[in-house]
Amino acid sequence: MIKKSILIENKTSITAKNLQLIIKSEIRESSIPIEDIGFLVLDHQEIYLSLPAMNLLVENNTSVIICAKNHLPNGMFLNLNSHHIQQEVFKNQIEASIPLKKQLWQQTIVEKITNQGILLAKITENKNSFEFLASKVLSGDTTNMEGVAAAQYWKTFFDTYDINFRRERFGDYPNNFLNYGYAILRAATARALSGSGLLNTLGIHHKSKYNAFALADDIMEPFRPLVDEKVFEIMQQYEEQELNTKIKSELLQVLTRTVYFKDEKSPLMVALQKTASSLQQCFMGNRKKIKYPKLWNLTPTE
């Protein structure tokens, strides 16, 4: 079942009763089964969330995302006890060998560069060298082909728009759209990893001691082009350059975007669970590669 994504932007009281989330604002009151909620985005400085409601949300593996005054996601709550063999999974993840982590990172970057190349070709209608760049990624990406690809990618991605774009965390439009989309993707990835019993703090590549979601930052990399594509589409549809309810709602739709595995297709939020589960199996010694989906169905239809 596809979980719901709920965005709350007004002064609101959020409580729980009979396993229902009770959402009460100045103009209306509504309820929704907590088990149906995958993501709860709180984007107002006067939202009240009761502790019983918070505990029920976390127990149901709902990702609760808190936004700062700039309306960008600033933190999230996740379930730390969501898997039946949690301790064993943690142990295997912590003891994973350096060669294994380097191999997993190599695969992840190959997937990311490949997806960037496919999307860039779709947008520019021109061939590019990203397939070649992906073939040059070494174990651990020691030659930083990720950075080489990123420089080429962003140099041409917004060429059809009259903007002097530079990809920056706190940069000008459309960086604000990209940052919001990436934050939502990060939360969805962290939720899937937590659900598979993995420790988000311990990455396979990202290692900053200040980063509580290093593993999510690793595994979300191949999925970033879905956010890029959505932002490109939003820029074609709307003239707004500031984040508003409409834009944020559009970006949340990335979570229900269809992606493709070998024998099936699924919404992104479900696919992330499959990817997370495969990573857990890699740490447990039952798989050698992460199960990443194809982001686009490139098979010609008859």
Q: Is 146 annotated as ligand-binding?
A: yes
User: Cβ distance 39 to 191 under 8 Å?
Assistant: yes
Q: Order of strands, edge to edge, in the sheet holding 63-67?
A: 4-8, 37-42, 63-67, 73-77
Rounded Cα gap, residues 86 and 82, in angstroms: 7
Contact between 2 and 269 under an 8 Å Cβ cutoff? The reply is: yes
206 annotated ligand-binding residue: yes
Reference 40, options 1, 80, 78, 69; nearest CA is: 78
Residue 47 CB neighbour total at 10 angstroms: 18
Residues 6+ positions from 235 with CB-CB distance below 8 Å: 161, 174, 177
Please count the other Cβ atoms lying within 10 Å of the Cβ belonging to residue 145. 22
Token digits of residue 110: 């190959």
Q: Is residue 217 within 8 Å of residue 106, measured between CB atoms? A: no
Question: CA separation (Å) from 188 to 143, 170, 193?
Answer: 29, 22, 9
- The encoded tokens of residue 237 equal 């549809």
Binding-site entries for Mn(2+): 146, 206, 221
Binding-site entries: 146, 206, 221
